[in-house]
Structure 1
Amino acid sequence: MEQGWRERRWTRRAKAGDGSRLKPFRWWQMTTRSVMSITLRDAEGRIVVHTIDVRHGGDASDGVVRARLYRDGALHLVSRVPARFAVHGGHIEVRVSESGLRRCHFLADDGTEQQLAPDSRSAEGRRLQLAQRHPVASSVLGALSIVLLLVGIGLNALQIAEPISQIPPIADTLGTFESPLHLDPWLNVALGIGAALGAIERASRLRYHWLLDSGAGT
């Protein structure tokens, strides 16, 4: 599959790993670490487990968020995100947002793509298990996360618009805007927490939309 200049740049910045072993996933890392795997054949036809490990808080040494590619548990390549690792038959692409993983897919040379499978102990793995075992509850939870984000975005926009409209150049050109809502601080905090939980829920399903999840992604 043809790569654009951006994808080529992501591929070039991957550095060789030191062969260190993949550390096991711990329960307290559910919201701070993502581990995703896929089984592929190498150039010799051998079956190799490729695992992506992302620490969302960044590395302890410099705070930079990096993706690490392990082959059968040994560190093979390292790159800051967004990352694109060359593997036999294609690439593995990793992107993140402020809430977690945004994308972790194998892109084959024939144009097909496949999402990597999450570690069963991770947030992504537990969310996938919920979807498989309780699809109705999963759908309700997914819809609720969208509602929380939309409410948070809408109310914040209304409240932010008022002080912005009072800036003299804007007020002289467009006039001022008075928000119909003035929420108590505790309610703003509650809505902010709800929106954050909604964003985390969507990230656990590797869902991303520029409007809903624009706290950012790389």
Structure 2
Amino acid sequence: MDPDAPAASRRLRPVRRLDVLHRSLHEIDLGDGPVRYAVEVDTGRDWTAVLYADGAFVAEADLPARFPVPGGVIEADHGLYGVSRMHFVGADGGERRLAPARGTLEDLRGRFGRRHPRASRAIGAAAVAVLLVNLVLAAPQALELVSEVPRIAERFGTFESPVDLPWWLNASLYAAGAAAATERVLTFRRNRIVDFETIWTEG
């Protein structure tokens, strides 16, 4: 898709191999026919969502986005680690998650889980463990940094973290946490405690 092309001529571009690094595409069939609606988020270009109907451009909006469609709306949002919401919300309040388009990173992760369920569960468990460790170790250090802000220090005093890790370990934990958070987003899992690192970075 050429983002500078006239709206009427813009068509949905097939997912290519390198697109997994920056492009998310989810689909759902709605209405009579039915019509296949697709929502594209391309972080390599901008932070907008684009709606297509049977491959033809319909609308574009900044994230978080809401697109009116037959029977309800499609809600889309994206955080630091990937798509945080991609749901059809019906007029009755019911929700359906849009399916990842074939070839996207979410689709590839889902197919891996179906083919290798044991390995998939092990990866999921490791992601939870990493995020919990990060939560325990990072929270006191973050609180210490916040407490050193002059206005906060004057009112509440300063806090000294009992955790003092070397920079290389902090960097390693951050990298592992980012990978674990991405895994959770790709598998559409969410818990307000486990996924705190993911939730606070949502758009």
Matches of 1:197 and 1:87, distance apart in 2: 34
Note if 1:160 corresponds to 2:150.
Answer: no
Are 1:50 and 2:11 matched, yes or no?
no
* TM-score computed with the length of structure 1 as normaliser: 0.79
Q: Report the counterpart of residue 92 of structure 1 in structure 2.
A: 74
Amino acid at match of 2:122: V
Which letter maps to 1:178?
Answer: E
Cα distance, 1:57–1:148 mapped onto 2, change above 3 Å? farther
1:17 positional shift: 4.3
Percent identity among equivalent residues?
37
Structure 2: distance between partners of 1:135 and 1:194 = 22
Match of 1:36 in 2: 26
Displacement of 1:106 in angstroms is 1.4
Q: 1:124 aligns with which of 68, 91, 106?
A: 106
Asked if residue 179 in structure 1 is aligned to residue 166 in structure 2, the reply is: no
Structure 1 Cα separation of the partners of residues 145 and 129 of structure 2: 26
Deviation at 1:48, TM superposition (A): 1.3
Amino acid corresponding to residue 105 of structure 2 in structure 1: A
Query: SS state of the match for residue 213, structure 1?
Result: helix
In structure 2, what residue type is equivalent to 1:184? P
Q: For 1:170 and 1:52, how far apart are their aligned partners in 2?
A: 43
Q: 1:168 to 1:117 in 2, by over 3 A?
A: closer
SS of the residue 2:111 aligns to: helix
1:189 pairs with 2:171? yes
Sort the Cα spacing of 1:113 and 1:19 in 2 relative to 1 into closer, same or farther, 3 A: farther
The residue number in structure 2 matching 1:71 is 53
Would you say the 8 A contact 1:150–1:212 is kept in 2?
no
Unaligned runs of 5+ in 1: 1-15, 60-64
RMSD of equivalent CA atoms: 2.4
Structure 2 residue 201 is the aligned partner of structure 1 residue 216: yes
My pick for the range that moved more, 127-136 or 80-89, is 127-136
Once residues 167 and 117 of structure 1 are traced to their aligned partners in structure 2, the CA distance between those partners, rounded to angstroms, is 44
Deviation (angstroms), 1:55: 0.8
Q: Equivalents in 1 of 2:191, 2:78: separation in Å? A: 12
Runs of 4+ in 1 over 4 A off after TM superposition: 163-176
- Taking structure 2 as the reference length, the TM-score comes to 0.84
5+ long unaligned stretches in structure 2: 1-5
Change in Cα spacing, 1:29 to 1:215, as seen in structure 2 (3 Å) is: farther
Distance in 2 between residues matched to 1:22 and 1:85, nearest whole Å = 17
- 8 Å CA contact 1:38–1:50 kept in 2: the answer is yes
CA contact (8 A) 1:19 1:76 kept: no
Say whether the 8 Å CA contact 1:102–1:208 is kept in structure 2.
no
